Structure 1
Amino acid sequence: MLKELVVNAAPHETRVALIENGTIVEVFIEREDETSIAGNIYKGRVQRVLPGMQAAFVDIGFDQAAFIYVDDVLDTACREMYQKFEQDNDSDDTDSGNMQTGSMAGSHTSWKASFNQECSIEDLLTEGQEILVQVAKSSIGTKGPRITTHISLAGRYMVLMPTVDHIGISKRIENETERTRLKDIVLSIRKNKFGYILRTQANGIDENTIAKEIEFLNKNWESILAKSMGAGAPSLVYKDLTVTFRAVRDLLANEADKLIIDSKEEYENVQKFLERLMPDVKLSVELYQGRESVFDAYNIEGDVARALKKKVWLKSGGYIVIEQTEALVAIDVNTGRYVGKHNFDETILKTNLEAVKEIAYQVRLRNIGGIIIIDFIDMKKEQHKDKVMAHMNEAMKKDKSQTNILPLTELGLVQMTRKRIRRNLTRTLCEPCFYCNGDGHLLSGKSICHKIYRDLVSEAGDMMGNRFTVKVHPDIAQLLHGREKHLISSLEKQFSKPIAIYPEPHYHIEEYHIFESLVK
C-alpha cells in the first residue's frame, strides 16, 4: 500500500494529510493561535482551587484559564503513594505515536480513582502557587485547556516521563521476548528513576540507539527545568514540535513512504531535522513546485470539504448521518435508496456492514473523539449482529487513537469512546452559524407568518393608529403576499385597518417589526 504525507505549509497555517493509495485517511491542521498548544509546557499560576470538583484553574497566559484535576497533580508528599499505585496497577501502555502530541497524560488513568481517594486538591495546590504544567488537551469549545503536572517528552523511539518510575512497552509490540529485551535495556541504561515508554518504532532497535535517545530526552528535560527556574508565571517554557515535524517523527518511515511539501523553507528545515533526529535512515522527501496548491494537485481539498458534511452516502445507496453535540457524537445508519436484491434481512446487513467501514474511516478522518453513539439499522438475527460487531472491531484496529467499543445493545446501538486530545476537523475549520446561532434549524416561513399574525392580534388592541406596517425579510413578504395572504386579509377584515407588508433585504429571515401609523 502506497502511503504519502502531503504538507501544505502556509505562513500562518500548516496542513498535513496522510494519503493511502490516493485516499486521504487523516488530516492535521495547525494554526498560530492558542488552539494548537497541546504538548507545550508552561509555568503557570494557580488562580482558584475547587474542592467540590477536586480540581483547580491555572493561568498559563491565555484568556481562558487552564483546568487541572487532582489526579493530574503530582506533589512531593504524594510521590511515594503515586509510585506505589503505578506498581500495584502496572499495565502495558499503548503507543503514543499517533501524531497527537508528545503528551502521555492519558497513560496515567488506570488508577486515578484510587489515587483520588488519598490526595485532595487542597493538600496539593494553593491559590497563587506557581507550577510547571503540560497541556494534555487544547481548548475545545467552551472548555479551557486541560493540563497536567505529569510531564512527558516524546522522542522517535520512546517517551520520557520524568515524574514517574515506570517502564512501559507499546501494546503493538506483541513479541514477549522483544518486550523483555527492550525493558531490560532501559533498566540497565537509565541513571535515574525516570519513566520511559517504548513506542512501536522501538521494535528491533539496538542498545546504543536507545542509549542515545535516553540521553537526548534527559538533556531536553534538564534544559526545560533550567528555563523554568528563571521564568515568571505565566510563561511558555517549552514549545512542542510543529505539526510538520511531528508528522516526520511519528509517521514518516513508519506510516508513510514519502513526504511531499510545498514550502522550500520548510523542506530545508525538514532535511535538517532528519539529519539531526534520523541520520541513519534514508527517507524520501520531495519539494512540490507545481502551480496549483499541493492539496488541489492531490485532490485533497474536496475530500476535506466532504468531511465537514453531516450526511455521507454509501456506495450501495444507503447513508450515515453524523451529528455532533457538546458532549457526544451520534451516528445514524439508514438504507436510503438501497432496496437490496434478495431479502430484507440481507439488505439491512449489507447496509450496516458498509456503514461500519465508512464510520471507521470518517471517525479517523474527522478526528471524532469522546463518546460516540452509533445507531445501526435494527437486525433480527444474532449472527448478523455478531458479524457487524466483528467488522466494527476489526475496522477500528487501523485507528491509532485509543478506542473502546461496547457490545451492541438491544436497541441496536453501539457505544464507543475514542481518545480526544485536539479539536476535531469540524471544530477546527468551522464555527457556529451566525444565522441560526448554531441551532442548525430556522423557523419555517409558514411558522414566521403565523407568528406575525399572533403578534398583530396581540398588539392591535393597544395601538391607536389606523394602519399597520410590517417590515419583514423578502421571502416572508413574498409568502404574506401570496400563499399566506389569507392571514393578512382576515386581520384587515377583523380590525378594519389596512396592513402594509414591506420587504427589508438586510433582515434575518426570522426578523420582523410591526409599526402603527395614522393615515388621513
Structure 2
Amino acid sequence: MVKTLVLAEQNKIGSVYDNDTVITQLIIERGTYHIGDIYIGIVETVLPSINAAFIILDYSENNGFIHINNLGHLKKKTNSTNITNHLSCNSIVMVQVLKEPNGQKGPTVTGDITLRGRYLTLLPFEEDIFFSRDFESNENIVYLRLLFTLLKPKSTGILINKKAIHASINNIIQDFYSLLYEWDSICHNLNYQSAPFLISRNKNFISKVLQKVYSEKVDTILVDSKQGSKKIASTVTRWIKQKNNTLSIKYFENHNFFVRDYNLDLIVYDLLQSRINLLGGGYIIIEKTEALTTIDVNSGSFNYLNNPRETILLVNRKAAKQIARHLRLRNISGVIIVDFIDMKNQQDQLALLLHFDSFLKQDEQRPRIIQFSELGLVELTRKRQGRSLLEMFSNSNGDLSNRSCISSIVSQSYVGHTALLDTCPIYSR
C-alpha cells in the first residue's frame, strides 16, 4: 500500500497517510525532555527508603527520577541493593531519558546509555554483541557477530536490530561508524560545560521521524522547508535498496499548506476528544484516569441488521479496528480496559478477540491482550513510549483547554502567499 509522509518540521508534527487519505501514524514532539536525550546531571536527593534518587537535569524543569534497577553504568562493582552505596548527593552523573514527564512527575532516567541508529544500537558501557529478540536468521547472526567482533572497540557493546537482516553490509557499517562518531562527540564535549546540561539531543525531528516510520512503501514525502527536504534526501538515499525505486520529496515554503490540505490541527483536535463515532451509528468513549484507560463501546443508533447477535458482533468488530488505531494515534499506554457490548456466545467472543488482535499486531508498541474477564471486559497492556497525545496538550492539572488546543498545535503563520510557493523533487530515480 502506497504511503505519504507529511513532515511539518516547524510544528514538530509528522503524519503518515495511506493513499493520501487515511492517517495511520502521528508523531508529535513537545516539551523539554524527550526519550533518548542524554544529560550530565547532579544527584540532588538519594532516597534509600525506595531505593531511588532525584537528579537535577535542568534548573528550570522537574528533576529526573532514577531507580536502583536503572542505574546501569552508575552501579558500582558491588552486589549491594542499597542505592546509597552507588549514588551520593552532589555527585555528577551521565543519564538518559527513559520516560518523558507525566503530569507533575519529572522524567524517568537511566544509566543504561544507548545510541540508536537505523540498524544498530551502540551500548557504550557494555562489551558484548547482542541481537534483538525478533532476529531469526542464524546464518546472519554468525556473520554479523564475526563482523562486529573485528570492528568494534573492546569496551563498546552493540545491539543488532531486525532491520539489519535486509540491509546491505555497507549501510550497516556506515550506521556503526556514525554511532561511534556520535559517542566520540559526546565524550569530547564532557569538559566544556558545567553540570547540569544536555549533552546529546536524540536526533533532530526529521531524522527521528524517518528512523521511526520510513520504509520502502513510502513513495512521497512532503516537508515545510527546502532545508528539510535536503535533510530527508541525504538520509533516505542511503537506505534505499532498489535501484528502480522512485521517491518524490517535495517542500512547501508555506506552513499553512499542511494545515489547509492535511488538516493537521483538526486531526489533533479530534484525537483529543473522548468520543469516537463509528460508521453506522455506534460510538466509543475513551476516558483516562491516573491508573488506567477505560474504553466503552456503545451501539448507539446502529440498527442495520435484524439479528441482534449479528448486530452486536458487527459493532464490536468496527469498534475493535478503531480502538487499535486510536491506541496508536493517541499513544495510549499502560493498562487499558475495553468494555465491548456484551456477547453471550463464546464463539463470537473468540472471533472478536482474534479480529482485535490482528489490528493490535500492526502496532510496533506490541499491545498485549491479557484476558477476556468474566464481566466481559477485555484487559490489555501497551508499552509506554513517550507521552500520550492527551498528556502533551493538557495543562499542569491534567485539564485540556479546547480553546487553546489548536493555537498550541499550529504556530503563528507569517505573511505570505496562501498557495504553494515552491515544489521541488529533490530525489527521483
What residue number does 2:162 align with?
A: 200
Write out per-residue CA displacement over residues 278-325 of structure 1, whole angstroms, 9 at most, x where no aligned residue. Answer: 597874311135795223213444332221111111113211100011
What residue number does 2:312 align with?
A: 348
Letter of the 1:42 counterpart: Y
Alpha-carbon contact 1:330-1:374 (below 8 Å) kept = yes
Letter of the 2:56 counterpart: D
SS in 1 for 2:368: strand
Task: Give 1:7-156 correspondences, 5 Å limit.
Answer: 7-10=7-10, 13-21=11-19, 22-31=21-30, 33-34=31-32, 36-61=33-58, 62-75=60-73, 78=76, 119-156=81-118
What residue number does 1:474 align with?
A: none
SS in 1 for 2:25: strand
Give the counterpart of 1:322 among 286, 299, 316.
Answer: 286
SS in 1 for 2:153: coil
Work out the CA distance in 2 between the residues paired with 1:46 and 1:53.
16
Work out the CA distance in 2 between the residues paired with 1:369 and 1:150.
22
Between 1:418-427 and 1:321-330, the stretch displaced more is: 418-427
Work out the CA distance in 2 between the residues paired with 1:379 and 1:126.
57
- Larger Rg computed on CA atoms: 1
What residue number does 1:373 align with?
A: 337
TM-score where L is the length of structure 1: 0.70
CA-based RMSD: 2.7
Identical-residue share of aligned pairs (%)? 31
Write out per-residue CA displacement over residues 114-159 of structure 1, whole angstroms, 9 at most, x where no aligned residue. Answer: xxxx532111111111100111122121110111111111112111
The reply on whether 1:408 has 2:405 as its aligned counterpart is: no
Work out the CA distance in 2 between the residues paired with 1:183 and 1:339.
59
Alpha-carbon contact 2:292-2:337 (below 8 Å) kept = yes
SS in 2 for 1:224: helix
Work out the CA distance in 2 between the residues paired with 1:217 and 1:68.
25
Work out the CA distance in 2 between the residues paired with 1:78 and 1:404.
36
* Unaligned 5+ runs, structure 1: 82-117, 441-520
Work out the CA distance in 1 between the residues paired with 2:316 and 2:130.
38
Work out the CA distance in 2 between the residues paired with 1:177 and 1:334.
51
Work out the CA distance in 1 between the residues paired with 2:288 and 2:328.
15
Structure 1 residue runs of 4+, over 6 Å off? Answer: 279-282
Report the alpha carbon displacement of residue 182 of structure 1 after superposing the two structures with TM: 3.5
Work out the CA distance in 2 between the residues paired with 1:248 and 1:135.
20
SS in 2 for 1:127: coil
SS in 1 for 2:372: coil
Alpha-carbon contact 2:38-2:97 (below 8 Å) kept = yes
The reply on whether 1:233 has 2:195 as its aligned counterpart is: yes
Higher relative contact order (CA closer than 8 Å, sequence separation 6+): 2
Report the alpha carbon displacement of residue 176 of structure 1 after superposing the two structures with TM: 4.2
1:162–1:325 Cα change, 3 Å: same
Work out the CA distance in 1 between the residues paired with 2:232 and 2:14.
14
What residue number does 1:388 align with?
A: 352
Work out the CA distance in 2 between the residues paired with 1:322 and 1:8.
27
1:119–1:225 Cα change, 3 Å: farther
Write out per-residue CA displacement over residues 360-390 of structure 1, whole angstroms, 9 at most, x where no aligned residue. Answer: 0011111111221111122211111111111
1:356–1:16 Cα change, 3 Å: same
Work out the CA distance in 1 between the residues paired with 2:217 and 2:363.
12
What residue number does 1:452 align with?
A: none
Work out the CA distance in 1 between the residues paired with 2:81 and 2:220.
49
Alpha-carbon contact 2:394-2:400 (below 8 Å) kept = no
1:54–1:255 Cα change, 3 Å: farther
Q: Which one has a larger percent helix, Structure 1 or Structure 2?
A: 1
1:353–1:178 Cα change, 3 Å: farther
Between 1:325-334 and 1:336-345, the stretch displaced more is: 336-345
1:341–1:274 Cα change, 3 Å: closer
1:76–1:263 Cα change, 3 Å: closer
Report the alpha carbon displacement of residue 70 of structure 1 after superposing the two structures with TM: 0.7
Task: Give 1:196-345 correspondences, 5 Å limit.
Answer: 196-254=158-216, 256-274=218-236, 278=239, 283-288=247-252, 292-345=256-309
Report the alpha carbon displacement of residue 220 of structure 1 after superposing the two structures with TM: 1.5
What residue number does 2:383 align with?
A: 419
Write out per-residue CA displacement over residues 3-47 of structure 1, whole angstroms, 9 at most, x where no aligned residue. Answer: 11101232xx3211111222112212224x41x432111100000
Alpha-carbon contact 1:75-1:124 (below 8 Å) kept = no
Letter of the 2:266 counterpart: G
Work out the CA distance in 1 between the residues paired with 2:280 and 2:47.
53
1:266–1:26 Cα change, 3 Å: same
Report the alpha carbon displacement of residue 52 of structure 1 after superposing the two structures with TM: 1.5
What residue number does 2:2 align with?
A: 2
Work out the CA distance in 2 between the residues paired with 1:335 and 1:325.
24
Report the alpha carbon displacement of residue 327 of structure 1 after superposing the two structures with TM: 2.5
Report the alpha carbon displacement of residue 77 of structure 1 after superposing the two structures with TM: 6.1
Work out the CA distance in 2 between the residues paired with 1:382 and 1:280.
47
Work out the CA distance in 2 between the residues paired with 1:66 and 1:360.
32
SS in 1 for 2:166: coil
Work out the CA distance in 1 between the residues paired with 2:386 and 2:134.
23
SS in 2 for 1:400: coil
Letter of the 1:5 counterpart: L
Alpha-carbon contact 2:113-2:124 (below 8 Å) kept = yes
Work out the CA distance in 2 between the residues paired with 1:171 and 1:366.
26
Alpha-carbon contact 1:332-1:376 (below 8 Å) kept = yes
What residue number does 1:463 align with?
A: none
1:75–1:400 Cα change, 3 Å: closer
Alpha-carbon contact 2:4-2:17 (below 8 Å) kept = yes
1:322–1:246 Cα change, 3 Å: same
1:279–1:366 Cα change, 3 Å: closer
1:339–1:252 Cα change, 3 Å: same
Write out per-residue CA displacement over residues 152-183 of structure 1, whole angstroms, 9 at most, x where no aligned residue. Answer: 11112111122234433344544444444434
Task: Count the aligned residue pairs.
Answer: 396
